[in-house]
Amino acid sequence: MTHWTLGVIGGSGLYEFEGLKDRRWIKVDSPWGEPSDELMIGALGDVTLVFLPRHGRGHRLAPGAIDARANIDALKRAGCTDLLSISAVGSLREDLAPGMFATVNQYVDRTENRPKSFFGAGFVAHVSMADPVCPRLSSYAAVAGRRAGVELADGVTYLAMEGPQFSTRAESRLYRSWGCDVVGMTAMPEARLAREAELPYANVCMVTDYDCWREESAEVDVASILAVMRANIGAAQRLIVEFAESLVRPRGPSPIDSCLDTVVISDPSVWDPSLVSKLDAICARRFNKSKHPHDRVDSR
């Protein structure tokens, strides 16, 4: 796996920039559900880019309606080696002003109604999430942001809330007291599932507003968020270009590439064939691309 195939999850306008060659849309079916949209594949130099509009083109999906399992599975099936997530967030810090960008290194997950794992009864696995993002990709993202000329904070903690409503003032102040820096609705369980799929993952956030913890600020409103997003789409596109161009060739191995080797607890004798079949892409490397992975003996 020496070639970079970079999956980018974000807004539907991110892929509309010069220099992206051979664009085409493909439909990828997933046994986990319906991905948010088709995948747009193109080339930026010798890096293959695979874009997935997280909310679907036209922003038809609310955060809680996004099928993150189907999205990650589809990107894995499309051959992605690594994932870059671009997401909008509210700021919980005075020095993180609207218009800035930030790279994430930790999450607090407060989502409630979203499937958070590919694994379950009949194939139990426990993947470590102590360090939920890929340090190599995150360092590339920080460098790319500065090369793109954006003001960027490095290594923030992201509070993932269920939504679709914005925070109450009491919630916003509580998140600040926990040491969180930004609040959003989409990075979880996306980051968890990327790790289960052995896909190194980095998250770059665009700060669109101050969350409502500030007494002097008005409540959060969609119009102001959209205005900041429109003003910063060019900067986000430049960041993606710089990110792709900064990737060291050839792609060296990452520990995340093989993180499933020691996490499966269920004995092969009790593996559920129907679940194992759905895991054919997520666990392809571990199953060694066997047509009948549940017939294989676990070597642990």
> 263: which residues sit within 8 A by CB, 6+ positions away?
125, 126, 127, 128
Beta bridge partners of 51: 8, 40
Query: Residues 141, 202: contact at Cβ < 8 Å?
Result: yes
Active site residue 211: yes
The β-bridge relationship of strands 39-44 and 82-91 is unpaired
- Exactly one of 29, 211, 295, 298 is catalytic; which is it? 211
Active site residue 209: yes
- Exactly one of 209, 221, 295, 298 is catalytic; which is it? 209
Greatest alpha-carbon span in the chain: 63
Candidates 17, 12, 1, 4; CA nearest to 240 is 17
Candidates 42, 85, 90; CA nearest to 221 is 90
Residues with a catalytic annotation lie at: 209, 211
